[in-house]
Amino acid sequence: MRAHYDFVIIGAGIVGAAVARELALQYPNKTIALVEKETQPAQHQTGRNSGVIHAGVYYAPGSLKARFCREGLDATTELCKKNAIDFEQCGKIVVATNRQEEARLADLFERCKLNDLDPEMLTAEQIRRKEPNISGQAGMWVKQTGITDFKQVTNCLLQEAAARANVSFFYAAQVKSIDENADHIALTLTQNGDAIRIKGDYLISCAGVYADELIRQQGLPCDFKIVPFKGEYYRLHKRFDNVSQRLIYPVPDPAMPFLGVHLTKMIGGFTTVGPNAVLATGREAYDGVTLKPAELWRLASFPGLYKLLWQFKSSVLSELKTSLSKQYYVEQIQRYCADVREKDLYYYRPGIRAQAVSLRGELLHDFKFISSSRSLHVGNAPSPAATSAIPIAKSIVSQLST
């Protein structure tokens, strides 16, 4: 086994996979090591999201979010077409159900145009004609939004990387230390109970919910902490498999980074609703039952968390209510799809989103990178990171070549 690589990547989610592919495209004669603590790629955020290829409806014009998402929309759909990956550019309708939401929808309409999209405002009657099962006072149709299976996308990116360069995969490998020296960067891993030492000329860390931990492990300054938010989804009864031909979203609260409980047609022909956004008890606390003292202490000892929760206390309570009461969850859906009942909701796998929060309790809304002479850490990769993975990777690799 090789001991020294030109590039070492931590994380085999979609961002890490895209970085591996981009490095392979630009440096086909270089060696790449990809380190992943799970036995397979895309086991966490990448494989547990709603599968939406976002178009860039919500993001501040000029922000990295807006630029990466718009570029990622085209790059992702092109990758799907070329590699026969399941996808559909079905579009989405954002539905306003009251006057306040209508005003927010007008703002979103202008933002869409600034983000190079072609939105179309809809009256209540136009919504009904497009989607007979959906109701609202007004709506906005964005035709560019799509759906796919991001696990398939990730596997494709990794296959393309391995076909173009010398890539070594270290699965079930936990990073225990990162040591940067003048002429290399060294990682100590544990794999199947054995300690492994590998070196590289450059490290790119795409560690998701563990991003801040690895930044601190390397000894780099880090003024934020990753806070895990759990998103709970439900699969609707099969009679709702064709409830809409498009994605149906509520108008989001601009103060929060989450988009509200939405109706999503899925690759596979079924429909899900969700997610909500509740504080998780750990970075992989999907079941909400298994509690790990170290994870609880990591959150409890972070002062920024309390400031965040207090600042958004009304939203926190509302989201918690959706987790505790299935009926209240249904009421969020009934605002725009009245036929859904509590009995129509079936368990669907939850996801956990890595959200960076500052020491002052502020949400980091945009992408954040932390770097040293021989490393670059993706510190915050908020939604739409899956959609944006290919342009994120291009940006990262361009920084390495300067």
> Domain spans of the chain?
1-88+146-223+365-402
Place of tokens 């309570």: 317
pTM: 0.95
Place of tokens 């940006």: 395
Write the CA distances from 243 to 94, 108, 294, integer angstroms: 16, 25, 43
Q: Closest Cα partner for 131 from 237, 245, 236?
A: 245
Write the CA distances from 21 to 17, 73, 78, 88, 223, integer angstroms: 6, 17, 15, 23, 30
What is the token pair recorded at 231? 């998103």
Specify the CATH class of 1-88+146-223+365-402 in words. alpha beta
Backbone conformation region of residue 53, classed left if phi is above 0, alpha if psi is from -120 to 50, else beta: beta
Each residue's pLDDT, cut to its tens digit, for the chain (402 residues) gives 578 999 999 999 999 999 999 999 999 999 999 999 999 999 999 999 999 999 999 888 988 889 999 999 999 999 999 999 999 999 999 999 999 999 999 999 999 999 999 999 999 999 999 999 999 999 999 999 999 999 999 999 999 999 999 999 999 999 999 999 999 999 999 998 899 999 999 999 999 999 999 999 999 999 999 999 999 999 999 999 999 999 999 998 776 657 789 999 999 999 999 999 999 999 999 987 788 999 999 999 999 999 999 999 988 898 999 999 999 999 999 999 999 999 999 999 999 999 999 999 999 988 899 999 999 999 998 888 999 999 999 999 998 854
Helices 150-164, 14-26: axis angle to 10 degrees equals 30
Give bridge partners of residue 224 from the DSSP assignment: 358
